[in-house]
Amino acid sequence: MTERLATAPGAAQAASGPWPLRLDDVTVRYPNGTVALRNVSLSVAPGEMVSVVGLSGSGKSTLIRTLNGLVPVTSGHVEVGPYAVDELRGRRLRQLRGSVGMIFQGFNLADRTSVYNNVLVGRFSHTPTWRTLLGLVGHDDRDVVMAALDSVGMLEKVWGRAGALSGGQKQRVAIARALSQEPRVMLADEPVASLDPPTAHAVMSDLRRINSERGLTVLVNLHLMDLARQYTTRMIGLRGGELVYDGPAAPADDAVFEEIYGRPIQARDTLERPS
Partner 1 sequence: MTTLPVPRRPRSWPRVAAVVAVIAAITAVTVTPALGGIRVDLGAIARNWHYGAHHIAQMTHLDFSILPRTAKPLLETLEMAVVGAAVAAALALPLSLWAARPTNPGPSRRAVRAVLNVVRSVPDLVYATLLVAMVGVGVLPGVLTLVLFDLGVVVKLVSEAIDSADSSYMEAGHAAGGTQTQINRLTAAPQAWPAYASQVLYSLELNVRISAVLGLVGAGGIGRLIDEVRGFYRYGALAVIILEILVVVIAIEVASNVLRKRLR
Partner 2 sequence: MTATLPATTRVVTAPARPSRLAVRAAQLVAGAVVLAALVHLRIGWSDLAALPGALGHYLVLMFAHPNWAKLPYALQQTWVSVQMAWVGALLGVVVSTILGIPAAQGVSPLWVRLPLRGLFAVLRAVPEVIIAIVILTVTGLTPFTGALALTIGGIGTHGKWTYETIEAVPTGTAEAVRAAGGTLLEVARWGLWPAAAPELMSLALYRFEINVRTSAILGLIGVGGVGDLLTGYTQYRQWDAVGVLVIVVVVVTMLIDAASGAIRRRIMGGARTRVVDRTV
Residues in contact with partner 1 by CB under 8 A are: 68, 70, 93-102, 104, 106, 108-113, 117-118, 120-122, 124-125, 127, 129, 132-133, 135, 174, 177-178, 181
Least distance to partner 1, CB of residue 190, Å: 13
Q: Binding residue for partner 2 (CB under 8 A) from 24, 38, 39, 46?
A: 46
- Nearest Cα neighbor of 202 from 271, 124, 255 is 271
- Rg for the chain (alpha carbons), in Å? 19
- Nearest Cα neighbor of 255 from 267, 246, 265 is 265
Amino acid identity of residue 43, one-letter, is: S
- In the list partner 1, partner 2, none, the entry touching 199 (Cβ below 5 to 8 angstroms by class) is none
- In the list partner 1, partner 2, none, the entry touching 27 (Cβ below 5 to 8 angstroms by class) is none
> Phi/psi of residue 225, each to 5°?
-65, -45
- In the list partner 1, partner 2, none, the entry touching 201 (Cβ below 5 to 8 angstroms by class) is none
- In the list partner 1, partner 2, none, the entry touching 110 (Cβ below 5 to 8 angstroms by class) is partner 1
Site for partner 2 in 63-122 (CB under 8 A): none
Q: Using DSSP, state whether 192 is helix, strand or coil.
A: coil
CB contact set of 107 (below 8 Å; sequence gap of 6+): 167, 170, 171, 173, 174, 194
Least distance to partner 1, CB of residue 163, Å: 10
Nearer Cβ to partner 2, position 20 or 167? Answer: 20
DSSP codes joined into one string, 119-153:
HHGGGGGGS-HHHHHHT---HHHHHHHHHHHHHTT
Q: Binding residue for partner 2 (CB under 8 A) from 23, 36, 42, 48?
A: 48
Nearer Cβ to partner 1, position 179 or 260? Answer: 179
Q: By CB under 8 A, how many residues form the interface with partner 2?
A: 27
Torsion of CA 3, 8, 13, 14, to 10 degrees: -80
In DSSP terms, which residues pair with 222 in a beta bridge?
53
Residues of this chain that bind partner 2 (CB under 8 A):
16-18, 46-48, 140, 142-144, 146-148, 150, 155-156, 158-159, 179, 182, 184, 211-216
